[in-house]
Chain A
Amino acid sequence: MRMSLSRVSKWVAVALCLASVSMVAGKDLPAHMSDQPTIGEVLYVERGCYQCHGLRGQGSVMSGPALVPLRLTREAFAALVRNPPRAMPPYSKASLSDAELLEVERYVRSFPTPRRPAEIPLLAQQLAPPTKGARSSRVSTIGSSATQSPVEASEGAKLYEAHCAACHGANRTGGVAPSLLNERQKREPSETASLIKFPPPGMPGLHPDVLSSEQVDAVALYLHQ
């Protein structure tokens, strides 16, 4: 009796699963593998992929590119692994079978989508201009558009009314969101603009879909009047 392709695949999967358990047992694997690693994760570690591409696919400027997100097609991925360019070692079928390669690819595609830097305060703050140091000349995300914007600062009021007042109050006195009456004392206009562009958790992101850079600057200038 001939087995159907799907049944063959199932048996292959079972075999690989058993193999992965035996691979893990007693092995000296890097710390913090999942409690129940998939075959792909085990292979990704055991065959050394993590060494250059990181345990979370993050890569490194010192070793290899990030794999998140993986934009390659299945065929392209396989071709690259079998005959990689530059310093990446080749993985022949003897060292990584086609079935194993498929599992590794599945595992790589399962890496979670990373959060946006704007959603991570420690990163978001670095995309805002520095608050200290006369020497610092970092260009903030507002660049020099604050002084070159064709959008009149008075338009900032209209934009604020349309997009900000609902939370921060019609007169900037606050509401579900904080008062903005003291923006001038708290921070520079460029920092305000940066907060609009890279908002803290809970605040909607208005840039670039709703407000352009010039419009953000106009709102910031309005808040500092």
Chain B
Amino acid sequence: MGKLPNSGRRQFLKASVLAGVSAPVIPGLASAQTSSEASKVLGPTAGVTQAETSPLIGDTDPDRLIKHPGSDFMVDLLKHSDIKYVAAMAGSSFRGIHESIVNYGGNRDPQLIVCAHEEVSAAICHGYAKVAGKPMACLIHSTVGLQHASMAIYNAWCDRVPMMIIAANHLDATKRRPGVEWTHTAQDLGAMVRDYVKYDDTPRSLQHFAESYMRAFELSLTPPYEPVMIVADGELQEEDIHDASVLSIPKRAPVQPSSASAAAISQIADLLVNAESPLIVADRAARSQTGVDSIVELAETLNAPVVDQGGRMNMPTTHYLNQTSLQQALVRSSDVILALELTDIWGLINSLPDTAERKSSRIARAGAKVIGISANYGYVRSNVQDAQRYYAADVTVDADAQECLPAIIKAVQERLTRQRRRVIAEKTPALRKTYVEMREADASAAAIGWDASPISTARLSMELWDQIKELDWGLVSNSAFISMWPQRLWDIDKYNQYIGGEGGYGIGYTTPASVGAALAHRDAGRIAISITGDGDLMMLPGTLWTMAHHSVPLLTVVHNNRAWHQETMHLKRMSGRRNRNPESWRVGTVINDPHVDYAGMARCMGVWAEGPIDKPEDLAGAISRALAVVKGGKPALLDVVTQVR
């Protein structure tokens, strides 16, 4: 047989049939031309007669069938590790495990979440893990698929989120079909993302796969949480398991998060107890409601204000000690600052404005003591720079902040004398007054432009709040681009009500991560709300189809300022500094001509939608209608034309 075109199984079969024909089908045809005119149509030969009239002689040769493919074992691992969902954009390199999930696994626990882009797959995992408190998996096609997924993986890395990435490959060069299986194979697939996954491996056998998978799983869930990747080679997926008795799945072996040493706890407690104006700053400190409760308890024990930087929900907004809006003033005045899982202590203590000179200055008062507790201290990658600028804190602890808090609280309690407790308690009226004034100031700021069109982000936020406040809800998008109104004015008092943002500021995160988060909220009986920028949605609009296809109860509100507005301001800054055309900011930064019909985009993919809405008096009705859809278990989208921030 000659060389076959590399164009798929169907062509292969067709070509092989054609290649096998080397003679006329009817043996007598060659000599038929010499027969008489009366005998032109010949009867069938004995062989043909038998072939056409005999019953089928048997089924497919069983030796051709794969009875127990390796990918079935891979699905066993997914079930063993309680992976509930696997996100995937279909790819030939993982067809084996894909089929096993569907037919062997019954497409349940895990269930396949069908995506239109690998970045969607990975970002869904990112959002899911922050609500569910455990990872999801994504199947990623080799090379080009992983390239697509890489930004979402980087976001999760920066955001300290666990994720199981199963990427496929074809390592044995002698088994690669010409063409696509070469272009879509890497010699070292992990190299593509190694800088921003905690662990990656390319197992050579199924038992190797099992052990690497479980190691990766536990590493992913050991603070700092991070994405991990296991390569599922095509042959390992598709070959039959010849001897299943040699395979075993390691048991779960969760790693206890690290805590601070007794000496460090003692040092920290001494500083905090003796501080005149302590401040607690938390970013990704709370990993669960327990973490929130501990932060509240420590804050109340010390009567220390808390600045919640919003990497997670760390401190209830309803608590008088949550004084996040006063961060600058508090940092300036505090004498002891406790930094809990901060990405950037340097940026908290100092300022470096975006000016031509880029001159930095210290914000914190001279002599202020800084305590840094983070599991990131012992875990920094050289190439990616998400560790931010180096800051030499006065006490530096490589440990998980949430894990340390009970011991710190206990040590603080033991050190507080009656006198000291009285002094601390006397601060309460002033702190409560400050909180009230802070909230009133935020409310006054929200009142500016309240009735404006385009709609103010404050108005949008409060109209939403008015209709969700009695529901069991979760906000699954970053509040920064809507001026943090939910944190400033909503009642956020449960851990799962806010999950932070992108981590790596990679745009395109919001809609798919919201879908993942909404899946976890759905499992817990909650609805999810996402307020996404229009530019962000434009990156991965195919996510809308996924949310419709899987009936995800998610309300997506498009904060449509018709621009990549951060970049609009950057361009304005450049032309201003260069004293050039002051009206050139619109070139390359605005989304218009035409305006995008996001409601139409959503509807064409099966999502209920209304918009564009540009009058504030129309918001309440639209939100009500959209929420009715979401409460019925379906996604909805509102396109709201808003002020820029």
Known: A127-B443, A135-B493, A135-B494. A122 touches B452 (CB 8 A): no
Interface pair A61/B450, CB less than 8 Å apart: no
A68 surroundings in chain B (CB, below 8 A): 448
Q: How far is the CA of A53 from the CA of B81 in the complex (A)?
A: 50
A126 near B582: Cβ-Cβ < 8 Å: no
Q: Which of A71-79, A83-91, A154-162, A178-186 contacts B (4 or more CB under 8 A)?
A: A83-91
**A173 touches B (CB below 8 Å):** no
Is B575 in the interface zone, CB < 8 Å from A? yes
Which B residues between 450 and 469 are near A, CB-CB below 8 angstroms? 450, 452-454, 456-458, 462-463, 465-466
| B440-A127 in contact (CB<8A) | yes
Q: Is A176 an interface residue (CB 8 A)?
A: no
Residue A138 CB within 8 A of the other chain: yes
A114 CB, nearest partner CB in chain B, Å:
4
Contact A28-B579, Cβ < 8 Å, known A51-B569, A136-B316, A138-B320: no
Whether B448 pairs with A58 at a CB distance below 8 angstroms is yes
A171 at the interface (CB under 8 A from B): no
* Complex-state Cα separation, A190 to B443, whole angstroms: 19
A window 109-147: CB within 8 A of B: 114-117, 120, 122-123, 125-127, 130, 132-133, 135-139, 141, 143-144
- Judge if B371 is at the interface, Cβ distance under 8 Å: no
B628 interface contact, C-beta 8 A: no
Most interface-central of A28, A32, A66, A89 (chain B CB within 10 A): A89
Knowing A32-B453, A55-B454 are in contact, say whether A61-B593 is a contact too (CB < 8 A). no
Is A187 interfacial (CB-CB < 8 Å)?
Answer: no
A201 surroundings in chain B (CB, below 8 A): none
Chain B residues whose CB sits within 8 angstroms of the CB of A138 once the complex forms? 316-320, 491
Stretch of B41-49, B413-421, B481-489 with 4 or more beta carbons under 8 angstroms from chain A: B481-489
Of B355, B440, B448, B458, most A-chain CB atoms within 10 Å: B448
Contact A133 B592 (CB under 8 A): no
Q: Is A9 an interface residue (CB 8 A)?
A: no
Selecting from A11-19, A42-50, A216-224, the interface stretch reads A42-50
Name the residue on B nearest A119 (C-beta): B447
A199 CB-CB contact with B under 8 Å: no
A50 with B443: in contact, given A56-B456, A87-B573, A123-B489 (CB under 8 Å)?
A: no
Give CA–CA (A78, B282) in the complex, Å.
40
Question: Quick check: is B222 within 8 A (CB to CB) of the other chain?
Answer: no
In the bound complex, CA of A122 to CA of B455 (Å): 15
Q: Name A115's contact: one of B433, B439, B447, B574 (CB within 8 Å).
A: B447
In the complex, are the beta carbons of B447 and A96 less than 8 A apart? no
Tell which of A32, A96, A117 touches B444, judged by Cβ atoms closer than 8 Å. A117
The closest CB in chain B to the CB of A23 belongs to B583
Residue of chain B at shortest CB distance from A148: B429
User: Are B449 and A55 neighbours in the complex by a CB distance under 8 Å?
Assistant: yes
Do A143 and B572 have beta carbons less than 8 Å apart?
no
Q: Chain A contacts of B250 at CB under 8 A?
A: none
Known contacts A89-B573, A89-B577, A138-B320; decide if A117 and B449 are in contact (CB<8 Å). no
Q: How far is the CA of A28 from the CA of B586 in the complex (A)?
A: 9
User: When the two chains form their complex, are residues A87 and B614 in contact, meaning their CB atoms are under 8 A apart?
Assistant: no
CA distance A136 to B316 in the complex (A): 8
Q: Does B63 contact A (CB under 8 A)?
A: no
Alpha-carbon distance A132/B494, docked complex (angstroms):
13
Contact residues in A for B466 (Cβ distance below 8 Å) = 122, 125
Question: B353 interface residue, CB < 8 Å from A?
Answer: yes
Minimal beta-carbon separation of B607 from chain A (angstroms): 24
Residues of chain A with a CB closer than 8 A to B355's CB: 86-87
Q: Is B318 in contact with A136, judged by CB distance below 8 angstroms?
A: yes
Whether B576 and A114, one on each chain, are in contact in the complex, defined by CB atoms closer than 8 angstroms, is: no
A46 touches B583 (CB 8 A): yes
CB distance from A119 to the nearest CB of B (A): 8
Do A143 and B432 touch across chains, with their CB atoms under 8 A apart?
A: yes
Indicate whether A123 sits within 8 Å of B569 (C-beta atoms), given known contacts A89-B576, A137-B316. no
Tell whether A174 is near chain B: CB-to-CB under 8 Å. Answer: no
| Smallest Cβ-Cβ distance to B351: which chain A residue | A86
* B333 at the A interface (CB under 8 A): no
Tell whether, in the assembled complex, residue B572 and residue A89 are in contact, meaning their CB atoms are under 8 Å apart. Answer: yes
Interface residue? A52 (CB, 8 A): yes
Chain A residues within 8 Å of B445, by CB: 58-59, 66
- Is B191 an interface residue when CB atoms closer than 8 A count as contact? no
With an 8 A cutoff between CB atoms, is B608 at the interface? no
Say yes or no: A123 contacts B579, CB within 8 Å.
no
Which partner residue on chain B sits nearest A68 by CB separation? Answer: B448
Q: Could you tell me if B449 and A58 are in contact, using CB atoms closer than 8 angstroms? A: yes
How far is it, in angstroms, between the C-alpha of A61 and the C-alpha of B318 when the chains are bound?
20
Q: Is the CB of A56 within 8 A of B449?
A: yes
* One of A55, A58, A95, A136 near B579 (C-beta < 8 A): A95
User: Across the interface, do A55 and B436 meet the contact criterion of CB distance under 8 Å?
Assistant: no
Does A63 interact with chain B (Cβ within 8 Å)?
Answer: yes
Inter-chain contacts of A61 with B (CB < 8 A): 483-484
> Contact at B440–A117, with CB atoms within 8 Å?
yes
Q: Does A92 contact B (CB under 8 A)?
A: yes
Whether A90 contacts B483 by the Cβ 8 Å rule is: no
Whether the Cβ atoms of B450 and A114 lie closer than 8 Å is: yes
Which residues B29-88 have CB closer than 8 A to chain A?
A: none
- Residue B312 at the chain A interface, CB threshold 8 Å: no
Q: Chain B contacts of A87 at CB under 8 A?
A: 353-355, 573
Interface contact A56-B643, CB-CB below 8 Å:
yes
B535-584 interface (Cβ within 8 A of A)? 562, 565, 568-569, 572-577, 579, 582-583
Residue of A nearest to B490 (CB): A126
Could you tell me the distance in whole angstroms from the C-beta of A177 to the nearest C-beta in chain B? 24
A89 to B440, CA, bound (A): 31
B107 CB to closest chain A CB (Å) equals 38
Which residues of B have CB within 8 Å of A52? 569
Q: A30–B455 Cα gap in the complex (Å)?
A: 13
The answer, among B491, B593, B645, for a CB contact under 8 Å with A28, is B593
**B428 in the interface (beta carbon within 8 A):** yes
B446 sits at the interface (CB 8 A): yes
A114 touching B448 by the CB < 8 A rule?
A: yes
- Check B353–A31 contact: CB distance below 8 A: no
Contact B572 A48 (CB under 8 A): yes
Instruction: Answer yes or no: A40 CB below 8 A from chain B CBs.
Output: no
Identify which of B462, B470, B575, B644 contacts A55 (C-beta below 8 A): B644
Within 8 A of A (CB), among B595-618: 614
CB A111 to nearest CB in B, in angstroms, measures 8
Report the bound CA distance from A46 to B585 in whole Å. 9
CB of B213 within 8 A of chain A?
no
Q: Does A94 contact B (CB under 8 A)?
A: yes
What residues on B are CB-neighbors of A114 within 8 Å? 444, 447-450
14 new A-B contacts at CB < 8 Å, known A63-B645, A123-B443: A31-B562, A48-B582, A52-B569, A57-B449, A59-B445, A87-B355, A95-B582, A116-B447, A123-B489, A133-B491, A133-B493, A136-B318, A137-B320, A144-B429
Q: List 28 A-B contacts (CB under 8 A).
A: A28-B590, A48-B569, A51-B569, A54-B456, A55-B644, A58-B445, A58-B456, A60-B645, A61-B483, A61-B484, A86-B353, A86-B354, A89-B573, A89-B574, A89-B577, A90-B576, A95-B579, A116-B444, A117-B443, A123-B462, A126-B439, A126-B465, A130-B318, A135-B494, A137-B320, A138-B319, A139-B436, A144-B432
Partner-B contacts on A (CB < 8 A)? 28, 30-32, 46-48, 50-52, 54-63, 66, 68, 86-87, 89-92, 94-96, 114-117, 120, 122-123, 125-127, 130, 132-133, 135-139, 141, 143-144
The 5 closest A-B pairs by CB, nearest first: A89-B576, A138-B318, A56-B449, A60-B645, A117-B443
